[in-house]
Each structure stands twice: as C-alpha cells, then as structure tokens.
Amino acid sequence: MTTRDDGGVRDTPYLVVDEHQLESNLAAMASHAATLGVALRPHAKTHKTPEIAARQLAHGAVGLTVATVGEAEVFADAGVDDIFIAYPLWAVGLRAARLRGLAGRVRLRVGADSVDGVRMLAAAVHAGSDSAPPLAIAVEVDSGHHRSGISPERAAEVAATALEAGLLVDGVFTFPGHSYGSGAATPAAGDEAAALATARDALVAAGIPCPVVSGGSTPSARAADGGVLTELRPGVYLFGDAQQWELGTIEPATIALTARATVVSRRENVAIVDAGSKILGADRAAYASGYGRLLDHPDARITALSEHHATITFSADAIVPPLGTVLRVVPNHVCNAVNLVDDLIVEREGVEVAAWAVAARGANT
Amino acid sequence: MTTRDDGGVRDTPYLVVDEHQLESNLAAMASHAATLGVALRPHAKTHKTPEIAARQLAHGAVGLTVATVGEAEVFADAGVDDIFIAYPLWAVGLRAARLRGLAGRVRLRVGADSVDGVRMLAAAVHAGSDSAPPLAIAVEVDSGHHRSGISPERAAEVAATALEAGLLVDGVFTFPGHSYGSGAATPAAGDEAAALATARDALVAAGIPCPVVSGGSTPSARAADGGVLTELRPGVYLFGDAQQWELGTIEPATIALTARATVVSRRENVAIVDAGSKILGADRAAYASGYGRLLDHPDARITALSEHHATITFSADAIVPPLGTVLRVVPNHVCNAVNLVDDLIVEREGVEVAAWAVAARGANT
C-alpha cells in the first residue's frame, strides 16, 4: 500500500509512470530523430495507451507503429490516422475484413515479407470487388536478427507483386533485434543500414520508388547515423526498462515506469516482494543479471521470480528493507509488463494524478 | 484463422482448451488424491476461471487455493465458499478491508510466515473492533525452494502469535518449487514431507493442533506418498504445459491447452508463427529446450520468442508447414499464458463449444 495525496490508498503491485520523466524521454527521442532528419513513428506495442500515443504525436511523431490489427483498431478508435502494422500479416478470415475496415478509415501501411502474403493482403482489401480502400505495404527485410523478413536482395519481388495486385508500396523496413546484446547496438545499426540500403536499391533498380526506409529498436535508434533511414520505430525509449539499463542504452535515472511492490517476507540478505511474473513479465535475456532491477537499490539483484514473488538478493552488508516496505521494481522488458495491467498509474512529483487505460492490452490478433 | 463448425472464424493467436482432456486430467488428479487419502485444494492461479473451478469442486476438491485477495474475490463472487490464499499477505490499507470483507463471506485461510505478518492479519480482521469475522492462518515453511516461508523449526512462533491475536490456526504448508528440475520431483517431495513433519511436530509440541498439512506443486504431487500430507495444492495439472512435458511429469498427449498460431513467415527449416510472449508468456526455465513446444511437431523447437513471433526451428529433413498453416503451440508455463487472455476457447472433439472468461486475469492485488 502506498498513500496518495488525497488520502486514498492503492494495493501493490501496480505499475507507475513518472509523468515528468515520460515527457523528458518523449522529447529526447523526438529531438534525436529531428537531429538525424528522420521521421519518428514510435512502436505503440510498448505502451498500448491512447493517452501516450497522443503525447507522442504532440511531440511530432508522424504516426504510430503497431504489431497487430487489434492494436491498430484501438488507436484508430482513439483518433490516430496514420498507422503502420509492422508485421507480415496473413490476412484471411476475420482479419481480412478487419484490415479492409481499417484501410477505409486511416492511412494504413502493413508489413509483408512474401509474395504469397502480399497476395493475401490484396485479396483482403479487394474482397472480390473492384473498389478497395488504399493499402500500402512496406517490405520487411532481415538485417541479421533472423526472425521474419526476406533477404534484402529479394525485396523487389515482394514490392513488384504488391504493385501488380493494386497495392501501394511505401518502401522497406527491418527490425534489427540483434541490437539487444552487450555492445551489439552499433554493429546492429550498421547491419540495419546496409540491409535497408540493399533493399532500397533493389526496389529502385526495379523501377519502384522507395520513399520510406524504416528502422527500428531503441538500442539501434540511438546508434543510427540517419544515413539511409527516413523513419525510426523505437518502442521502449519512452519508459526504459532493466534490459535497456543493463545494455547501457539508457541511464537508470531516466526510467519512467516501475512496479510498486511490497516486502512480504525476508531473511538474512533476501527480501521477497509481491511483484512476480504476472506483473513484471517473465523475460530474462541471456545478458540480463536477473529478473528485473531495483531502482533505489542498484546493487541488489532479482535472483528468482515466481508469479507473485520476486526474490531480491542484497549484498551481504546491505540493510534489507523491513516487511511492508514499498520498493520500485524495474521490469526487464517493459512491453510485456504493461500488457499485464489494465491501467497505468500516473504520478507527478510523486503524487498520483491519473490512471491511463492500457486500451490495447491483450490485443493479440 | 481456423474455421469453426458454425461457419464462424477466429483470428489467431488464441488459447484453446480441449474439454475432454481437461476432464480427464481433473479426474486423474482427483483419483490420485483419493488414493493418497488427502484433500485436493487445486491452485486456481493456473486457470483463473470460475467455470473450471466449478468443475474442480465437482470432482471433489475441498476448496480452492489462490495467490491474491483479488483472485479470492473473483472466486467468492462465483460462489466458492472455502478459499486458501497461500501467500504471506501484508494486510494493510485497502487490502486489509478487502480481507475482512472476504473473511465475512467465505471460509478463509491465509498464509503467514512471520510474527509481524500475523499481527497485521489480526489487525485487519479486527479493524479496531472486538467483533471480527473468523480468519484462519496456515504457517508457510521453507522446504528447500528458498522463496517465502519460515524455517520449519520456527513454525510454532507464528502459530502461537496467531492464536494470541485471536486468529484460527489450520496448520502448516509449503511450496516445494525446487521440484521443477530434471529428476527433482522425488527429492523435493521428500524435502516437502520432512519440512512439513518438522513444522507439524513443532506446533503439536507447543500444544497447537495441526489438522492441515498442505503440500503443493504438480511435479511433487505426483511423487508424494501421502504420508504426512493432508492436502495437495497442484495447479498446472489440469492443463499441462511444455515445462511439465520436458520435466517428464506428464505425457504430451495429456496436454489440454494450446495456443493456435498461424505461420506468417518461413525460410529453409524455420517457420515464424504469430504467437509470441504476449500470449505464451516469456518463461524459459533453465531446463527448458526452448520457449514452448509444438504439440504436433515434437522434434521442433521454439528457438526464439518475441512479443508476436515464435521462431520455430525444424530438423533439417522436416517439411516446414506452409504459410497460413495453423499450429498448436504448448506454452512453457501455462499459468502465465492464461493470464494474458480474456477468454479460453473451449473445444469438444475439435469443435468450438464455448468461451470461458478468465475472470481473475490480472487480479494481482
């Protein structure tokens, strides 16, 4: 329990956004993109929150990136009119109809990494009729993360198929997820630039204009030099998390989201708090030192995580917080933490001022 | 998308329960508990679903176990009248009032592993008045998992404090979470029995009756010999998951819950499906071979997991499913997967027959 300024109380665990730090982080990335001369299209999967989307747009974002049709529907309902679903959708069934509906009311771009996928997208918006709402694609290429994405040399195959099928082609994109590793951001940003340049050149050589060259990831966004990129799609930057902290992408003082958790058990140099994987998420990357970090105890480590217990191990000479103490826990991967709650509690100068609905929580389809 | 018998469609990813297999798993554990001569009090954190709780009670469960006051409230609202919150609650603020409310309407037992925690519980139900609803505690002891729980030798301190403070004492409990490891279930069940016997004997030696001796975990429940135990609290057994599969606790043919996911991208021996950590959970225990398993492709491994992508690596000579194929993915840790969805889709003989609300999803407080 923490006491609010209005005398109310709130049971732990819950997620808190520091509004001042959030604004600072939004401004910093907007400034970075402006300095590079690229458009900023933040990935809204991180926050899933219309209030935050509005703030990103107010800071100059050209539109949003999302991962699913469901996320796009939530943000379209909230008034966002330019959305990129950066995912190679397989557009059949209900999803096809939902996509056609979206394309009719926002400026919509969808990812594609196969000729067959593009044909499904075209069939979805046409739905057997000659008139179709405009739908743009961007060709996803693999820049070294080896997830989805066609090889950059083959990007024109997908783009040409899209044009033949009556779709628009915005350009090319990649997600350099291999930027998540110790010392990996700069090489990954180099891989990203090289892959995107190859893909762009392949389109141009095929006579297909390529106005959009879009890169992603919070680590690589910082390392990007702007060169080939026309657009950045970072997600985590607005909150930060323990992964970014441990990767060295951010300073812990800039972290804008923490879980508030109560010490419920303790022994020797260990405290157990009531935030587990059902509010922090269970992510633990190979490079992570534990299952999250303590904002006010940087030397402590979360050495085990259950659904409702985090086991915090303090150094031998540390004073372990007493039972009932409320601690600030930084999730390893903030995107998965946010997706576990219905509301983000917003504090200004330590005082609760709002609760923002995570309107796209669970929007997996 | 998969086609339903009624001609409807449903976009992937979503979680499906095989009703026949669920019933079989419920019956098997009920039979196991009856054979051991112990009460079954399943941990409802796994399913969070009133429909399933009703089925567990119909199979003879004496009540439910839950992890949070919020879960208890959901199941009390659904008519469950005997609930054990197996967690060392720190009962202050709203939580104290909520606990008092619950104790007034169901037979309530709460975990405790400290003298201070018990005093807070007593203060919560008394709330400054002489009349209080009855509240029972069970003393949590550490049997080797080293999470919460007092050492078994000291269990009587907590129990005696509870009696002095006007609470009831049901007995003792432990969670032998160290049963989750290769070959660990039988030794952990032995540790559990030994710790609980020590704790029970400590209470009895102090003149405190100890009718309840409660053990937990799906792996150790199977290995338990019943001896000291009067109650079992397994959670995962009703669905099964990839962790239990890889631990050898269950046969994969008994798995009753899978995520349906569509192949959206493929290359060489790799397929990418649209189920990621936002529907499977991000759990990956040290002993796990990957981020989940494929029910129909036991040789394949999920070698990487993002929020909306699982990277499935097939053996070099396997036929990789084509784009658009719907696969059945088994989450590593089913409790965290269920907590990510609003509904479980229920199939009987492969036909969708119901959607059950995961009513306690997100009930973290």
pLDDT digits (tens, 9 = 90+) for B312-361: 999 999 999 999 999 999 999 999 999 999 999 999 999 999 999 999 99
Please tell me the least confidently modeled range out of A102-111, A279-288, B66-75, B129-138: B129-138
Clarify whether residues B84 and B97 are in a common domain. Answer: yes
Measured in angstroms, the CA of B266 and the nearest CA of chain A are apart by 7
- A181: chain B residues, CB-CB within 8 Å: none
| B24 or A6, which is more confident | B24
pLDDT at A118: 98
Provide the pLDDT confidence category of residue A216 given band limits of 50, 70 and 90.
confident
Task: Assess contact for B15 and B345: CB atoms under 8 A.
Answer: yes
* Local structure of residue A145 (DSSP, 8 states): S
Task: Assess contact for A307 and A314: CB atoms under 8 A.
Answer: no
pLDDT at B3: 46
Express as a percent the part of chain B with pLDDT over 90. 90
Cβ distance of B311 and A278 shorter than 8 Å: no
Q: Is the pLDDT of residue A6 over 70?
A: no
Write the CB contacts of A201 (distance below 8 Å, at least 6 apart in sequence): none
- B211 domain-assigned: yes
Compare CB distances from A264 to B93, B148, B336 and report the shortest one's residue: B148
Clarify whether residues A252 and A344 are in a common domain. Answer: yes
CATH of the domain at A326: 2.40.37.20
Clarify whether residues A90 and A221 are in a common domain. Answer: yes
List the one residue out of B93, B95, B87, B102 whose CA is nearest residue B44: B87
Measured in angstroms, the CA of A271 and the nearest CA of chain B are apart by 9
pTM above threshold 0.90: yes
DSSP B209-262: ---EEEEE-HHHHHH--SSS-SEEE--GGGT--HHHHHHTSS-GGG--EEEEEE
Cβ distance of A69 and B11 shorter than 8 Å: yes
pLDDT at B56: 98
Four-CA torsion B180, B184, B190, B193, nearest 10 degrees: 0
Model confidence over B132-151: pLDDT tens digits? 899 999 999 999 999 999 99
- A177: chain B residues, CB-CB within 8 Å: 306
- Chain A, nearest residue to B2 by Cα: A93
Q: Is the pLDDT of residue A224 over 90?
A: no
Measured in angstroms, the CA of A265 and the nearest CA of chain B are apart by 6
Residues A252-271 as b or e (16 or more Cβ within 10 Å = b)? bebbbbbbbbbbbbbbeebb
Cβ distance of A277 and B45 shorter than 8 Å: no
Chains A and B form CB pairs within 8 A to the count of 179
Clarify whether residues A248 and A133 are in a common domain. Answer: no
Identity (one letter) of the amino acid at A71?
E
- A7 domain-assigned: yes
- A363 domain-assigned: no
- A290: chain B residues, CB-CB within 8 Å: none
Neighbours of A305 (CB within 10 A): 24
Domain total of chain A:
2
Mean pLDDT, to the nearest integer, of A125-137? 90
Measured in angstroms, the CA of B227 and the nearest CA of chain A are apart by 28
Measured in angstroms, the CA of B139 and the nearest CA of chain A are apart by 13
List the one residue out of A197, A195, A182, A186 whose CA is nearest residue A225: A186
Clarify whether residues A190 and A263 are in a common domain. Answer: no
pLDDT at A357: 98
- Give phi and psi for B328, each to the nearest 5: -100, 115
Domain stop point among B196, B215, B238: B238
Cβ distance of A342 and B362 shorter than 8 Å: yes
| B363 or A2, which is more confident | B363
Clarify whether residues A91 and A222 are in a common domain. Answer: yes
Cβ distance of A336 and B277 shorter than 8 Å: yes
- B67: chain A residues, CB-CB within 8 Å: 307-308
List the one residue out of A272, A239, A271 whose CA is nearest residue A258: A239
Dist. CA B281–CA B284, nearest whole Å: 9
- B107 domain-assigned: yes
* Local structure of residue B69 (DSSP, 8 states): H
Domain stop point among B188, B222, B238: B238
Q: Is the pLDDT of residue A218 over 90?
A: no
Measured in angstroms, the CA of A38 and the nearest CA of chain B are apart by 26
pLDDT at A318: 94
pLDDT at B7: 41
Question: Tokens at residue A56, please?
Answer: 């990103």
Give me the domain span that covers residue A114.
19-238
Compare CB distances from A12 to B274, B335, B365 and report the shortest one's residue: B365
- A270: chain B residues, CB-CB within 8 Å: 146
Cβ distance of B1 and A95 shorter than 8 Å: yes
Express as a percent the part of chain B with pLDDT over 70. 98
Clarify whether residues B164 and B254 are in a common domain. Answer: no
pLDDT at B216: 82
Q: Is the pLDDT of residue B364 over 60?
A: yes
Clarify whether residues B271 and B321 are in a common domain. Answer: yes
Domain stop point among A216, A238, A260: A238
pLDDT at A7: 41
pLDDT at B114: 98
Mean pLDDT, to the nearest integer, of A293-311? 98
* Local structure of residue B324 (DSSP, 8 states): T
- A94: chain B residues, CB-CB within 8 Å: 1, 9-11
pLDDT at B106: 98
- A362 domain-assigned: no
Q: Is the pLDDT of residue A71 over 90?
A: yes
Compare CB distances from B116 to A12, A120, A323 and report the shortest one's residue: A323
Compare CB distances from B282 to A45, A95, A282 and report the shortest one's residue: A282
- B365 domain-assigned: no
- B363 domain-assigned: no
CATH of the domain at A61: 3.20.20.10
Q: Is the pLDDT of residue B152 over 90?
A: yes
Residue identified by tokens 């390893």 is A332
Clarify whether residues B203 and B163 are in a common domain. Answer: yes
- B86: chain A residues, CB-CB within 8 Å: none
Measured in angstroms, the CA of B236 and the nearest CA of chain A are apart by 13
Model confidence over A16-55: pLDDT tens digits? 999 999 999 999 999 999 999 999 999 999 999 999 999 9
Cβ distance of A90 and B263 shorter than 8 Å: yes
Q: What is the largest CA-CA distance in chain B?
A: 74
Compare CB distances from B336 to A12, A13, A307 and report the shortest one's residue: A307
Mean per-residue pLDDT over chain A, rounded: 95
Model confidence over B160-188: pLDDT tens digits? 999 999 999 999 999 999 999 888 988 99
Q: Is the pLDDT of residue B86 over 60?
A: yes
Clarify whether residues A122 and A250 are in a common domain. Answer: no
Task: Assess contact for A176 and A189: CB atoms under 8 A.
Answer: yes
| B88 or A180, which is more confident | B88
**Taking each helix axis from N to C terminus, what angle separates A93-103 and A115-126, rounded to the nearest 10 degrees?**
70
Clarify whether residues B189 and B60 are in a common domain. Answer: yes
Beta strands in chain A (DSSP E): 2-3, 9-10, 14-18, 39-40, 64-66, 82-88, 107-112, 136-140, 168-173, 212-216, 231-233, 257-267, 270-273, 293-294, 301-305, 310-313, 326-330, 343-348, 351-357
Q: Is the pLDDT of residue A206 over 70?
A: yes
Cβ distance of A90 and B342 shorter than 8 Å: no
Provide the pLDDT confidence category of residue B225 given band limits of 50, 70 and 90.
confident
- A149 domain-assigned: yes
Model confidence over B45-61: pLDDT tens digits? 999 999 999 999 999 99
Measured in angstroms, the CA of A148 and the nearest CA of chain B are apart by 6
Model confidence over B278-314: pLDDT tens digits? 999 999 999 999 999 999 999 999 999 999 999 999 9
Clarify whether residues A36 and A156 are in a common domain. Answer: yes
Task: Assess contact for A298 and A314: CB atoms under 8 A.
Answer: no
Q: Is the pLDDT of residue B8 over 80?
A: no
Cβ distance of B147 and A311 shorter than 8 Å: yes
Classify burial at A295, counting beta carbons within 10 Å of its beta carbon; exposed 0-12, middle 13-18, buried 19 or more.
Answer: middle
